[in-house]
Each structure stands twice: as structure tokens, then as C-alpha cells.
Amino acid sequence: MLQKDFQIKNQILEAIIDNAFEWVVVVDPQGIIRFMNKTYCEFLEVDSKEVIGKHVTEVIENTRMHIVAETGEEEIADLQFIKGNYMIANRIPIFDEGEVVAALGTVIFRDTEQWKKMNSHVKSLFSELEFYRNEWTANNGAKYSLNDLVGTSEAITELKRMVKKISSGDISVLIRGESGTGKELFAHSIHQLSERSNAPFVKLNCAAIPDNLLESELFGYVEGAFTGAKKGGKVGKFTLANGGTLFLDELGDMPLQMQAKLLRVLQEKEIERVGANETEKVNVRVIVATNRPLEKMVQEKLFREDLFYRINGFQLHIPPLRERKEDIQPLIDHFLDKVTRRTGKRIQGISEDAMRMLLDHNWPGNIRELENVVEAAVHLSYMETIEPEALPDYLIERNETHVGSQSLKDLVENTERNAIKKALDQHHGNKIAAAKALGIGKSSLYEKLNKYKLI
């Protein structure tokens, strides 16, 4: 009777394992199969009796069961390629008194149709997630994070540490540094690491807005506030940033009259739209940036002293590129990757001579200037590495009087002219060979020869 009960229980257990746990395999510490359920055998097209005693690698392709049995380290939700499809496998070691005595493996999907349905469902969910992520990013406004701050210098490393330290609070931050040092990236990073990261990030360049429009840009206006006002009025930046962060760039260019109104908003945490008769409460963290000497402007009565102390909760000083030249190489690598991905050009790196010229340069335009130079050089290089002739004239000639005086368009044209002349010289005036070396058509070359009067 006991023997019969044992057989019945054993049959019930096998039936449960065969039908409830998808595919199941058990191996001993040496990787030898001790059990494989019926559905797994059917899928693999093997006899359930013949697989017992075989090494698991002889039966299951791309298996790692023997590795888990040896190391004792579990592997959960691992993709395993079996018979032309990726399956989700779990591998769990079984211990007895601290020693591995077996390993249990399960696979979620028993047939390819089941996997295809799940795969389509997952892809649909990812597509929907990507849509909402892009929509959130567009509305949120913060595009950059701490990972976008490229550099290995001690100064950048310390700045990243400080950003992590101050981001969690609501303290106002004053970011200082020369033009082109990346002040806006730090503002984005602070917001992204703050508790306001799910709320809007709104930015305003105070120097780009005419003085007479700055108030309505910051605080908004009601319908009929002035001639030309939009029907329904306009929402200001403070309202848009409510609950989140407002980044005011080039604050040193804000006129004194507006400084007084901004100070009141920061103190009272409420705004009044142009033409309105009532105020609105706002909850906004303010981050400001400037390249102006605010302390000197305070002394000269060009910037309000009380506003300066209000925004100066914590200062971040971004050093110019000339003071951290060890960051030039990683920045170049970053910009090369960025430009080549966009243009499809195969530029592997930069030659030692060209790199030496970039390291010798003073970079008055800082990172923005370096990015422009790299972009121009990529467009005008016809080899796999950037050579000195692909760099702007002012870098080649080392003529400091021209530094910063050329736009990206001028840099591109000057470098393009030099590249064409160099190609013609290398191919002894053979225009077809020169065009091929430059990666352009013969007609395009002739147009450029006419443009630069090289014929």
C-alpha cells in the first residue's frame, strides 16, 4: 500500500512538473542530466529516457547549466538561443549543507509562437515607452545629464562631485564661467539629479530678449494687457516652470528695473502677470548663469546687491578650457563620435601633429570653439585621421590676432580651400584624382575651384 501511494504521488509530481513549470531540466554538479520534463524533451525532439546520464551540453545548445552547477551562482532571466529563437532561461543552484548538489533550469516559453507573441507585445510596450519618454523630454526641457559632462581633469571631477552634493536641495545656484564652457549643461545636470527631475526644466537667455519684452517672457501677460497681446494672454516662464526649475542664462545682462521685479518674485514666491490685478503663487528653483563680473557690477550700481546675495546660494565656477587641457583629448573623442555618427564619415582619430596644434591653442571660445573646429575638420578631412591641413588657418599659422574672429562658416571655407589645394598638390594637378581623394564628384570640385578662384 505504501509503495502504491508513493507511485501515485510520484506520478502526480511528474504531471505537475511536466505541465506547470514550462521546460525543466536538472543536472548534477558535473553537469550530467538527472531529469528533463516531457515538454522540454518534445521541443528538443529527444527521448526522455536517453537524455538521462548525458552531459547537458550534448542535449541543449548554448546551455550554461553545467557552469551554474560548478560555480553555484544563479542566473535569472537570461536570454538563451535555442533552435533558432531566443528563450528566457532561469538557472538556480541547489545547495545541501553549503555545497552545490544540483542545478535546476527552467525556460519560460515552450513554443516559438508563444515567444513571437510575447516578443511583439514587448516591442509594442517599448515603442509606447519611447513615445512617452520623448514626449516627457520635450515637455520637461532638460536634455543633458551628468554623463554629458565630458572630462577627466581634477576640476571637472570636483565639479561633478559638487553637482551631486547640491542637486537634492532647493538652494539657488549661481554658475559662473566664460562663454562656451558648458554652463547650461551643469544647470541641466542639477535639475536631472534633483527631486524636481520629473517636473519641467525651463530656460531663458536674458541677453537674447529685448528689455521691453523680458517682463512678459518671465511672468506672462493677460489678454488685452497691451497692443498686440495674444488673445487669451500668455503664460510666463515662471508659470511654466512651476514645481520644477527655471534656468536664467546671462543674468548679468538683465536691466536693473527687471532685477527688482525678479528679486520680489524670489522673495515672495509669487508672480503678477503683466496687466493682471492679482498674483499667483509659484514654486520654482532658480539656477542662474553669467560670464559677467557681478561683484564689480554691484560696486558700479549695474547689478542689485540684494539680488546678488539672493541668487548666490551656491556658486559653481567652470574653469576655461585653457586651464584644463587634459580634457581636450576626451572632448575631441566625444565630438568626433558625435559628428561622424551624424555625417557617416569614417574618421578614426587625430594625428599627433594636429593634436599638438590643438593642445598649443589658447581656446578663447572654450568647448564651443573646440566643437566647431572638430566639426569643420571632420567635414574637410579626406583621410581616416584628421591632419593639420584640415584645421582652420588660425591654428595652422598660430596667429593669435585672428583667434575667435571667425565663424564656423569661415572656418569651414578656409579649411576647405586648403584641403583642395593640398589634394591638387598631392596629385600633381590631376583634378579627377583630387576629387576622388576628397570624396566629392568632379563637378563639385570644379564648383569649389571657381568659388575659391583656384583655377
Residue 298: the pLDDT is: 94
Residue 14: the pLDDT is: 66
CA distance 149 to 145: 7
Cell of 330: 576626451
Write the DSSP symbol of residue 389. G
Cell of 455: 583655377
Q: What is the pLDDT of residues 128-156, one digit of tens each?
A: 666 666 655 555 567 777 888 899 899 99
Burial of 308 (0-12, 13-18, 19+ CB in 10 A): middle
Please tell me whether residue 382 adopts helix, strand or coil conformation: coil
Provide the residue type at 166 as one letter: I
Query: Model confidence at 6, in pLDDT bands (50, 70, 90)?
Result: low
Q: What is the pLDDT of residues 204-216, one digit of tens each?
A: 999 888 888 899 9
CA distance 65 to 103: 7
Backbone angles phi, psi at 313, to 5 degrees: -70, -40
Residue 109: the pLDDT is: 61
Q: Is the pLDDT of residue 157 over 50?
A: yes
Q: Are 249 and 204 in contact (CB under 8 A)?
A: yes
Who has greater pLDDT, 13 or 51? 51
Residue 402: the pLDDT is: 43
Residue 79: the pLDDT is: 81
Query: Model confidence at 447, in pLDDT bands (50, 70, 90)?
Result: confident
CA distance 64 to 61: 9
Residue 400: the pLDDT is: 42
Residue 12: the pLDDT is: 64
Residue 128: the pLDDT is: 66
Q: Is the pLDDT of residue 254 over 80?
A: yes
β-strands 285-290, 245-249 pairing:
parallel
CA distance 386 to 336: 10
Which percentage of the chain shows pLDDT scores above 70? 85
Helix locations, 72-141, DSSP H: 112-140
Q: What is the pLDDT of residues 377-414, one digit of tens each?
A: 888 887 888 988 888 888 876 534 444 555 666 767 77
How many CB atoms sit inside 10 A of residue 224's CB?
A: 10
Q: What is the pLDDT of residues 299-354, one digit of tens each?
A: 999 999 999 999 999 999 999 999 999 999 999 999 998 888 887 778 888 999 89
Query: Average pLDDT of the chain?
Result: 84
What's the residue count for the chain?
455
User: Global pTM?
Assistant: 0.58
Q: Phi-psi region for residue 134, left (φ > 0), alpha (ψ -120 to 50) or beta?
A: alpha
Q: Are 110 and 22 in contact (CB under 8 A)?
A: yes
Who has greater pLDDT, 14 or 67? 67
Least confident range of 107-116, 170-179, 285-294, 303-312: 107-116
Least confident range of 169-178, 180-189, 339-348: 339-348
Residue 374: the pLDDT is: 92
